[in-house]
Amino acid sequence: MVTSRWTAAPARPASPRRRGAVLERAILDAALEQLSTVGWKGLTMEGVAASAQTGKAAVYRRWPSKEDLVADALRAGLPPLESAPDLGSVREDLLALCRVARDAMFSLPGHALRSVIHECEDIQAERFHTVISEGLVEPTIRLLREVVVRGIERGEVREDAANGYVYDAIPAMMMYRSKMCGSEWGDGDLEEMIDQFMMPLLRKTDA
């Protein structure tokens, strides 16, 4: 009896076909990954489809343009900022909040967001203003307001510190130094900013 020395390779199991919300989540995650690696200008619908291991028709069927896709990816990816820390002092509350903001800035959605902000032309960037404002800026300022008002109620913070300029100070400082100075905002940097900048700004002075 003659036996063949060739044997058939075992059949590979077919990968499960993703549909609905599972496929959409994979595409949105792929868009964030592409933004963080190749940037806004390098992102293509075809590249997102390849990264998500799906066909480009599945992407175009849901999002007719990369602006639409990126807007939804940012909405889905930005971490929720729901409650302000309450650790007993305004300094500790601000530090905890800054750590949350720092982690969001340097997360995958944060890198994607900075790619959009830095690379988009003005007309394109206008499409993302609402996404950025509602998903990041407004929640951060709301939590800062809670921390400052609580500090006023505890007698730690001067009453006239509850204003928009104070609330803007931390986000503006973190974005500026991240973009212009390449700061990654380690814990020591955050403590220095709070102790040397925010606390003198907020602290009550003797009459």
C-alpha closest to that of 117 among 103, 137, 100: 137
Q: Which fold has domain 20-76?
A: Arc Repressor Mutant, subunit A (1.10.10)
Residue 70 · residue 41 · CB < 8 Å? no
C-alpha closest to that of 136 among 91, 81, 89: 81
What digits encode the pLDDT tens for the residues 88-138?
999 999 999 999 988 888 888 888 888 888 888 777 777 788 888 888 888
Where does the pLDDT of residue 206 fall: very low under 50, low under 70, confident under 90, or very high at 90 and above?
Answer: low
Distance (Å, whole) CA 62 – CA 60: 5
Place of tokens 């709301």: 142
Question: Hey, what CATH class is 79-202 in?
Answer: mainly alpha
Report pLDDT for 18.
63
% residues pLDDT > 90 (the chain): 57
Domain edges within the chain: 20-76, 79-202
Answering whether pTM is above 0.85, one says: no
Report pLDDT for 127.
76
Where does the pLDDT of residue 84 fall: very low under 50, low under 70, confident under 90, or very high at 90 and above?
Answer: very high
Residue 32 · residue 73 · CB < 8 Å? yes
